[in-house]
Amino acid sequence: MAATTPTGSYSPGLEGVIAGETAICTVDEGLKYRGYSVGDLAEHCEFEEVAYLLIHGELPTIKELKDFKDRVAVARRLPPPLRQLLQALPKWTAPLDALRTSVSVLAHYDQETGDSSREANLRKAERLLAQIPVAIADHYRFSKGLQPVLARPDLGHSANFLWMIRDAEASPEEIRAFDISLILYAEHEFNASTFTARTIVSTESDLHSAVCGAIGALKGKLHGGANEKVMDVLNAVGSIENAESWIRQALARKERIMGFGHRVYKSGDVRARILKQQAQLLAQRANTTQYEEMAEVIEKVMATEKNMYPNLDWPAGRLYHSMGLEIPLYTPIFTMSRIAGWSAHVIEQLGKNRLIRPRSLYVGPPDRTVTPLAQRGGA
């Protein structure tokens, strides 16, 4: 087939370009998952309900939710060789890198890895939803010289993760705040990691491969890694007294302030407003209100000077800090939530697939002819 010259205007970073159709999520006029506003879901649902909604298409009935939770509970375990590998990894291995490796290994132990039917992908999605938090917790504890803590059948998704990390039960307030954070992180249209996952399976690859690629995309500080950088900002500020001068000096140096601005949301991220309330509540319980006070000053300066507003990562970093969770865990936590959205997009892409293969705008040299090596000069 003869090559064709791309038509249309070039948009760096594909900004504003419509790259496909989806019935899963929209960011127009507020963030909605399958027609439900994210605020409504965060107020009335637990994470398992939202995960079911994303993966299966509708909010569950009481029986459907119970059966879903039972299936996920059964799958909350890792094959022994993966646990041995996690224990053997160098202590400096980043938690997100260990998680990416875990998903790749899990593919070898899932007998349906090569089956990309909708039914098989639904089952695999549920298993990954269960296994990813276990992999995060087991690697974390191994890296501290501790033994893993087994999941408990009587605990829900958020409560179980905090239990496996801490070997102690979390408070109801912590569980609810963590659950809300997972709901807010679960899905966000054609973001970089989701688009990566869809691109991978558009070649008729498998769900586990797509998730490995999505984790790789999520790792960067301009995507999932931003929530880890939030605490770097606040720790650099140091105190409420220093907050305004610090942020003004940083802006004068034209530094990027992580946790602010969004490609889509120009006047503020509704998710940030929702989670800010939870961050403030837990900060009071944990006696870490100085971070909330610093954050408030920075928010005001950013709004006044740059017309930029917080995104979800800004309160999420502070929330997880108040819960005593270590910074390298923040992006893996993002992953244990977003697996619901990634899985939904993989299933949707394969349901009406077309290979994702965009064109590029060539800006290299014009046509040239090859000069024989002997005529190019030089020793």
DSSP-derived secondary structure for 97-152? HHHHHHHHHHHHT-TTTT--SHHHHHHHHHHHHHHHHHHHHHHHHHHTT-------
Distance (Å) of CA 285 to CA 10, 279, 323: 50, 10, 9
User: CA 49, CA 78: separation in Å to the nearest integer?
Assistant: 24
| Distance from C-alpha of 105 to C-alpha of 78, rounded to nearest angstrom | 10
Token pair 């296994």 in the structure block, residue: 131
d(CA 292, CA 296) in angstroms, rounded, equals 6
C-alpha dist (Å) from residue 280 to 4, 126, 295, 359, 360? 55, 32, 11, 46, 46
Domain boundaries, the chain: 22-219+332-351, 226-322
Long-range contacts of 43-51 (CB under 8 A, 24+ apart): 45/183, 46/156, 46/157, 46/158, 46/179, 47/156, 47/157, 47/158, 47/179, 47/182, 47/183, 47/186, 47/337, 48/72, 48/156, 48/157, 50/182, 50/183, 50/186, 50/340, 51/129, 51/157, 51/186, 51/340
Top pLDDT among 318 and 264 is at: 318
Active-site residue, 313 included: yes
Beta-sheet pairing, 32-33 with 36-37: antiparallel
51-85 residue pLDDT tens: 999 999 999 999 999 999 999 999 999 999 999 99
Do 275 and 312 touch, CB atoms closer than 8 A? yes
**Is-contact 170 61, C-beta < 8 A?**
no
Q: What's the pLDDT at 263?
A: 65
Q: Which of 262, 269, 321, 345 is catalytic?
A: 262
Please name the helix (run of DSSP H) or strand (run of DSSP E) that holds residue 33, with its range, or none. Answer: strand 32-33
Q: Which of 138, 313, 321, 345 is catalytic?
A: 313
Secondary structure class of 262 (helix, strand, coil): coil
Tell me the pLDDT band of 379, cut-offs 50, 70 and 90. low
Which CATH code for domain 22-219+332-351?
1.10.580.10
Q: Is the pLDDT of residue 1 over 70?
A: no
Amino acid 295: pLDDT: 96
Separation of alpha carbons 203 and 212, rounded Å: 15
Q: Would you say 54 and 348 are in contact if contact means Cβ atoms under 8 Å apart?
A: no
At residue 281, φ and ψ (nearest 5 deg) are -65, -45
State pLDDT tens for residues 328-349: 999 999 999 999 999 999 999 9
CATH architecture of 226-322: Orthogonal Bundle (1.10)
- pLDDT tens, position by position, 135-170: 999 999 999 999 999 999 999 999 999 999 999 999
Q: What is the pLDDT of residue 53?
A: 98
